[in-house]
Structure 1
């Protein structure tokens, strides 16, 4: 196999800078799987119902997560919402909240209260710049037949907004989340500033439009796109620029939500669940890329893995690996489980690449 040299390779613990952990029974089911993916640091999304728009709500949620898994560092965010003020941002900075997440209104899961006009948040962005909080962008424009925007080019249509926000607030740290296109990769590179970065998911390193079009468990927003786009993401992982790092956007949904509801007549929920296999899926995708000739084995060095899955993100978010925890990669006959079931049996969540062979990770003592 192309990456057999990484059998028994030791790496720093992975840091995942984009996760959905939900609440209630789903939260109780997925949070204990974080470390199974070789991860000890996660950046937590705020799109609960209701969304997390206040510091007390964020801190209460943090306490719930810490009770379930005290050996993970949870970095908390607020939801960009009309009720946020510069005072909220100052309070968030004092409380150690890391950033604010912007969702386009109505475009993805629990985004009904999202952004319609970014200009209305200029005072909030200025406060974030002053207090050094990160702005996380779900980078898509709403679909518009009149303007020729669909799920396949919604990310590219959003990219001028990214450039405008950086031009207006040049000291604001911005992350374009879950890049899916060659255009997005090139846009982040072209900005040039060390204040603009992007995350890439594990599943987008595997998928193209043909994959998710026939599999609801591979459907997410933004959608996976062409083979050329996938190749651009893969090459960005190994480019050494420091501009791209791991944010899995792992998004658990009950089986019913992924299959159209209990009557199978509803819409399919957007989201791919990768949390228990975050590290394993990245390594497997790079291995597959080598087998396909997209990469050469020498492109995937230990330094590349360390930087993409830990170093670059920790540096940008200023989160050191204080525990000095390490994981080791193993090549065994492990398979991705078919379903993850809550203790009560009421919630079932299907992981990405269910039933497929995968790398393994172990924690070093």
Structure 2
């Protein structure tokens, strides 16, 4: 039955394969919203300040999150950094840490300690391949400096075009393909795919490569974030054609793409009124509802056939395919009932220490979530 024709959908509790929960007062606020969105397992990003680069740091961070919301399973990752060695990878595997997240230096929030040269980490990737750990890639290259002497730059992937936030993901694709070629058994996820070319690159690789798709990229295009700081993220939303390709990948991707919201909270002051707008969209409290809304809109526009948005696809995208890729299970057996009853997205979430976060699509209607 078409998604647009349904007003109630019951699903297994979801797995969100890409979340930012921050730390301190911000974590106290946002970790409690995970289950609001219909999710009970999350893959946690390590780009704190300082970044999570040791097993001890990672386990301590998980303990802090568990103390805030113990009904969520936190699947942890390390930050790819010069402190990460093959020995650290072996230690991480023993401790139950699932993967390592790579950020190209300077491309997004808290990425200043990120990767400049991937070849430096080949021994780490080789050990990850042996240990069956996941490499999570933020798939962008840094933009060409504003004051470069020429209008173009030659990047490490061979591109001669100037790099901006609009083509940074496309320019990263040769890096993805090179890593997959060198380490064909290494499980790699191209995170938060935002372009048709990124989807095609993932599909062209073997089954050890997958991609995550966010809730907000399924609905946003360039014009939306260009005038709205609360819709601005990295990678930025692209063209309507790219957005529609993402929708098609959800239902036609044969399990190669799954939900990773990249929910990224920032204080309201950092999204509006600061010298620079922080990159990140906060979608955690309404994660599943946002996706259902985007799929409904895709059916209405004729991008998707109504019969494509069936139970099997929803269960797969919201958890089944991601859990299968990571090799994890939801032992709780929990289920959620989503109801299209016009619940309104809150305008503001307020926490301790004066923390204020504005959710994506504030004031708009979406689906409500009830735990079964």
Shorter-chain TM range is over 0.9
Q: Find the aligned partners of 1:213 and 1:330 in 2 and give their Cα distance.
A: 31
Is residue 58 of structure 1 aligned with residue 58 of structure 2?
Answer: yes
1:343: how far off?
3.5
SS of match in other structure, 2:313: helix
In structure 2, what is the equivalent of residue 106 of structure 1? Answer: 106
Q: 1:240 touches 1:304 (CA, 8 Å); kept in 2? A: no
User: Across the two proteins, how many residue pairs are aligned to each other?
Assistant: 358
In structure 1, what is the equivalent of residue 232 of structure 2? Answer: 219
Mark the CA change 1:260 to 1:104 in structure 2 (over 3 Å): closer, same or farther.
farther
Deviations along 1:34-80, whole A, 9 cap, x unmatched? 00000000000000000000000000000000011111010000000
1:190: how far off?
1.2
Is residue 363 of structure 1 aligned with residue 371 of structure 2?
Answer: yes
In structure 2, what is the equivalent of residue 150 of structure 1? Answer: 164
Q: Find the aligned partners of 1:331 and 1:257 in 2 and give their Cα distance.
A: 32
TM-score (norm 1): 0.96
In structure 1, what is the equivalent of residue 330 of structure 2? Answer: 321
Q: Which runs of 5+ in 2 are unaligned?
A: 145-150, 154-161
In structure 1, what is the equivalent of residue 300 of structure 2? Answer: 291
> RMSD of the alignment, in Å?
1.1
Is residue 31 of structure 1 aligned with residue 31 of structure 2?
Answer: yes
Q: Find the aligned partners of 2:357 and 2:68 in 1 and give their Cα distance.
A: 18
Q: Find the aligned partners of 2:12 and 2:207 in 1 and give their Cα distance.
A: 23
1:333: how far off?
2.4
SS of match in other structure, 1:198: strand
1:297: how far off?
1.2
Q: Find the aligned partners of 1:228 and 1:295 in 2 and give their Cα distance.
A: 13
Q: Find the aligned partners of 1:269 and 1:229 in 2 and give their Cα distance.
A: 23
Deviations along 1:193-241, whole A, 9 cap, x unmatched? 1100000000000100000000000000000000000000000000141
1:83: how far off?
1.0
TM-score (norm 2): 0.95
SS of match in other structure, 1:358: strand
Q: Find the aligned partners of 2:10 and 2:363 in 1 and give their Cα distance.
A: 26
Higher mean alpha-carbon deviation, 32-41 vs 335-344, is at 335-344
Is residue 203 of structure 1 aligned with residue 216 of structure 2?
Answer: yes
Is residue 182 of structure 1 aligned with residue 196 of structure 2?
Answer: yes
SS of match in other structure, 1:22: coil
Write out aligned runs for 1:74-85 (5 A).
Answer: 74-85=74-85
Q: Find the aligned partners of 1:357 and 1:86 in 2 and give their Cα distance.
A: 48
